[in-house]
Structure 1
Amino acid sequence: MNNLIKKISIPVSLMALIISGCTKDFEKINTNPDALDHGPPLNILANVFRNTGQSFGGDVDGYGTFAGYIVKIQYMDYMSGLVPTNNTFGNRWYACYYNNTQLKDLLVKTESTAEGNKNVRFLARIWQNYMWSYLTDGWRDVPFTEAIKGTEAEGNILMAKYDKQEDIYPAILADLKKIADEMAEGFGTDEIGTGDVIYQDNSITLNEEMIRWQKFCNSLRLRLAMRISGVAPELARKTIEEIATQKDKYPVMETNEDNCYLRYPGAPPYYEPWYDSGIVGNRINNWSLSDIFIDHLLKTEDPRIASIAQKANDGEYRGYPNGAKSGPSSLTSVSWIGDMYMNKAAGSTPFYKSCETYYILAEAAMLGYNVGISAEDAYEKAVKLSMDDNGVSEKDVAAYLEGAGKFDQTKERIWWDMWVALFKENFESWSLYRRTGIPSTNYPSLNSIYGKEHNDQPWRLPYPNNEFLNNKANVEAAASKVKDFVWGEQMWWDKRTGKF
């Protein structure tokens, strides 16, 4: 043992030199030679799609409550009492910027091989714009032009300024048009494969897969253009007419096969988020459909009710008031969320339903835009797509379109039906409500701590605490227009009056 100790004994001065020398090359020595220095592009893409679905598709209430669909019936919390703070929905803010940071990294790493990664770059750029639209529709003014520019080459911008929503929207639409024009010139040859967890299907060709992404790009342009039709009518008209009158160049989503849905494998840990919360988490009895939603479906004899809702214990459909101080005496005395939406382990998170294309075209026709289809024909096409997506028979669709669902030449009829059709795409439905005021029967939480100070659902999401810690001056300037976390200044495109 003594000999061994002597053999490994090293003078302190020499040890200091060794440590000094190691420090210079510590990063090299401490690097795993078998590890990748960055994620492969397809892995990044798949991760971003998955993160988007789990971050934004997992809210059973939240936006579902804001849109007038879903209410809490036990464990009353923020949704029932409407007690917002700067911690509320902060993880959604983080997810948006995380996803766009990852996509930016993908684009930087493939820049030198752009032609060989043409398709994956198309998808990344489209999804970046989807994330930007989500951010601004959630928080209004957000860091945009200076966001995710923390490298030395970009100026080491760690405290990004906030851009106005009225400047962000035209920039998003311009970039989506640029992508759409490039896609119209031709796709790449690179396979997306498992990186595309939305449209990849062994039964379709690469060209068919990319056409579906091309359709999503142009359909997203339609959505955003219609959103600003009341505040930027010329940009809205130009965008929608360009797409609608040049379908060969700018194809849009027109069938349920085109639906932009993230479908889950249905095995742990990749369950559909509502199933994961309700069935796996044993919380299916946490939620009921709201009274205004069920009342509307019953009043209009809408056959989609059988997919959307479960019957109460007496065999009737019955909603529950939003924000009641306590739940019903019997949890089964009200309608829970339907099995199609809550009880499918391999279910899906919708990002864009093809029926939305035709609701938009119907409204555009009502506005006098040249879209190549009448408002009535577009409306009926939208209804049929939504009904088919909910498993409704042709006979019941026909009865609905002859009855309460008959087109009456008003934008309100389009919006009411669109509201029903967007169920589960709750964030988008919340935006529809803020823009149009439909459902007009919507009301704030009965149990709100603000009492009668506010007569509406939230207009926005609160800026997260981390912004006040790390970007204080910029966020405080933006938040100066915010009142009680989720009210104050309305969205740029929200021109409703009489709301406070």
Structure 2
Amino acid sequence: MEKIVSRMVLPILCMLTMLSSCTKSFEEVNTNPDALSNAPATNMLGNVLRNSGEQFGGDIDGYGTFAGYIVKIQYMDYMGGLVPTNNTYGNRWAACYYNNTQLKDILDKTEASAEGFKNMRLVSRLWQCYMWQYLTDGWRDVPYTEALKGGESDGGILKAKYDKQEDIYPSVMASLKVIADEMAAGFGKDALGAGDFIYKGDMQKWQRFCNSLRLRMAIHISGVAPQLAKTTIEEIFNNPTRYPVIASNADNCYLYWQGSAPYYEPWYKTGYMDKRVNNFGMSDIFIAHLQETQDPRIASVANKAADGQYRGYQNGAASSPPKLTDISYIGDRYMNTPAGFTPFFKSCETYYIMAEAAMLGYSVGMSAQDAYEKAVRLSMEDNGISSAAADAYLAGKGKWNNTKERIWWDEWVALFKDNFEAWALYRRTGIPSTNYPSLNSIYGNAHNDQPFRLPYPNNEYLTNKANLDVPLTNVVDYAWGQQMWWDKRTGVK
């Protein structure tokens, strides 16, 4: 018996010794030696910019469909009926909050030595503002004042309330104004590092993006908050030294992709690498407008069909065309370039805003006609169109006619690929007026327009329903039923 006990005790002691050792080293064993416990700020910034480009630049037939540019010509659907899911639009919602959380982490980690990270903090705050603008222009009322406060030091708010768009807009614009003034006072000495995939550390170009984003938000609200819009736009355009803007294509806020695995331009990846290029065709209303106005940009935004003609297809059609090759595909510059670009702001947009502001009677230092023609020339240049062809267009069907509609129609063409902003233009102005209603959606004939907003993701219904119920009182069919605060169109549903 004694021998048996001794034989049992020894293994038990060994096991207890091993367990004690495992307990002490558990944290060490379960730590990934290849993972950084504290990532450099430039890496975090690069991750946010890349994620923004993938999530918001990867859209082809979502916003592109809403804006009247691109249609499905194969595997027909209507974006899942625009019901709550955590795919596509839910992922973009999550990306906005993920990006803002990452940017907040940069700000928190650099707060103790803020002066040594001045430029990094300026750009991080600026991109946060861009994320808020994207969120509210996509979903309208969103968690804002209580968002990003899940940590104990921030209040431990895990279920944030929803703020109204009419409160979010002035707040974000005020934040951008603070950033713009800080930039005007001087930049820091720190380098943004390799993570600045957009401007390669050029703070003056980030300054231009800041003021241009202010212009965009201001013109959006010109019909509902005219005084704030006017003072913002006039302040910027009348103080070009203090508040420079994106005024040339060299300053465009474009994310150019590496063009090799795994960082390919998202449209190229979807179309050519995933072999889905023939899923998408050009909208008939877009092609028709370009042909009617003899717009030379048609050669850049679209490819000819197999018979050598430009031809579009109806948005929301119930079935595919008999031959897919009878329809124009998206132009090679936009879809067949591995190292292509994702646009966040184009220089021509600055001058379309200036032209519209001049039509509204704002003091902007340039006539509406001159600003319009400058915008057109910048768009033509960006699309590789010759100066001679631009001159012919401006002397012909694109000639200035002293109307805001002339500005909006041309801006619609110029915004191609910045589909999200083009959708905002449509919701604000009704241009293109030839846009289709929501044909063949799961809601039948209940709606006579494209969606007003995006559906809240399913996760919000599951985890934040009490707060979500507040904005839902004004929403019908998940996406329709509530126009943007700045969308003053009538007769649409």
Q: What is the identity, as a one-letter code, of the residue corresponding to 1:162?
A: Y
Q: Secondary structure at the match of 2:316?
A: coil
Asked if 1:392 is matched to 2:385, the reply is yes
Aligned partner of 2:131 in structure 1 is: 131
Q: What is the identity, as a one-letter code, of the residue corresponding to 1:253?
A: I
Q: Secondary structure at the match of 2:281?
A: strand
* CA distance in 1: counterparts of 2:128 and 2:193, whole angstroms: 20
Aligned partner of 1:42 in structure 2 is: 42
Asked if 1:90 is matched to 2:83, the reply is no
Q: What is the identity, as a one-letter code, of the residue corresponding to 1:182?
A: E
* CA distance in 2: counterparts of 1:28 and 1:472, whole angstroms: 40
Q: What is the identity, as a one-letter code, of the residue corresponding to 1:481?
A: N
* CA distance in 1: counterparts of 2:471 and 2:11, whole angstroms: 61
CA shift, 1:24, in A, is 7.6
Asked if 1:378 is matched to 2:371, the reply is yes
Aligned partner of 1:9 in structure 2 is: 10
* CA distance in 1: counterparts of 2:461 and 2:53, whole angstroms: 27
* CA distance in 1: counterparts of 2:403 and 2:7, whole angstroms: 94
The answer on whether the counterparts of 2:41 and 2:106 sit within 8 Å (CA) in structure 1 is yes
Q: Secondary structure at the match of 2:263?
A: coil
Q: What is the identity, as a one-letter code, of the residue corresponding to 2:485?
A: W
The answer on whether the counterparts of 1:324 and 1:445 sit within 8 Å (CA) in structure 2 is no
Aligned partner of 1:309 in structure 2 is: 302
Aligned partner of 1:151 in structure 2 is: 151
* CA distance in 2: counterparts of 1:319 and 1:29, whole angstroms: 59
* CA distance in 2: counterparts of 1:351 and 1:246, whole angstroms: 23
CA shift, 1:232, in A, is 0.5
* CA distance in 2: counterparts of 1:9 and 1:390, whole angstroms: 80
* CA distance in 1: counterparts of 2:462 and 2:206, whole angstroms: 38
- The more displaced of 444-453 and 340-349 is 444-453
Asked if 1:263 is matched to 2:256, the reply is yes
Q: 1:472 to 1:19 in 2, by over 3 A?
A: farther
Q: 1:16 to 1:166 in 2, by over 3 A?
A: farther
Scaled by the length of structure 1, the TM-score of the pair is: 0.94
Q: 1:37 to 1:415 in 2, by over 3 A?
A: same
Measured against aligned partners, the alpha-carbon deviations of 1:314-349 in whole angstroms (never above 9, x if no partner) come to: 211111001111111111111111111111011000
Q: Secondary structure at the match of 1:381?
A: helix
Aligned Cα root-mean-square deviation (Å): 2.0
Segments ≥4 residues shifted beyond 6 Å: 5-8
Q: 1:257 to 1:8 in 2, by over 3 A?
A: farther
CA shift, 1:57, in A, is 0.5
The answer on whether the counterparts of 1:57 and 1:273 sit within 8 Å (CA) in structure 2 is yes
Q: What is the identity, as a one-letter code, of the residue corresponding to 1:334?
A: I
CA shift, 1:54, in A, is 0.3
Q: What is the identity, as a one-letter code, of the residue corresponding to 1:222?
A: L
Aligned partner of 1:74 in structure 2 is: 74
Q: Secondary structure at the match of 1:487?
A: coil
* CA distance in 2: counterparts of 1:17 and 1:118, whole angstroms: 52
Q: State the aligned residue count.
A: 487
Q: Secondary structure at the match of 1:297?
A: helix
Q: What is the identity, as a one-letter code, of the residue corresponding to 2:270?
A: S
- Please list, as runs of the form range in 1=range in 2, the aligned pairs for 1:232-381 lying within 5 A after superposition: 232-381=225-374
The answer on whether the counterparts of 1:307 and 1:340 sit within 8 Å (CA) in structure 2 is yes
Q: Secondary structure at the match of 2:59?
A: coil
The answer on whether the counterparts of 1:463 and 1:479 sit within 8 Å (CA) in structure 2 is no
- Please list, as runs of the form range in 1=range in 2, the aligned pairs for 1:209-228 lying within 5 A after superposition: 209-228=202-221
Q: Secondary structure at the match of 1:482?
A: coil
The answer on whether the counterparts of 2:438 and 2:447 sit within 8 Å (CA) in structure 1 is no
| Structure 1 gap ranges (5+) | 201-205
CA shift, 1:444, in A, is 2.0
Q: What is the identity, as a one-letter code, of the residue corresponding to 2:358?
A: A
Scaled by the length of structure 2, the TM-score of the pair is: 0.95
Q: What is the identity, as a one-letter code, of the residue corresponding to 2:281?
A: S
* CA distance in 1: counterparts of 2:143 and 2:20, whole angstroms: 42
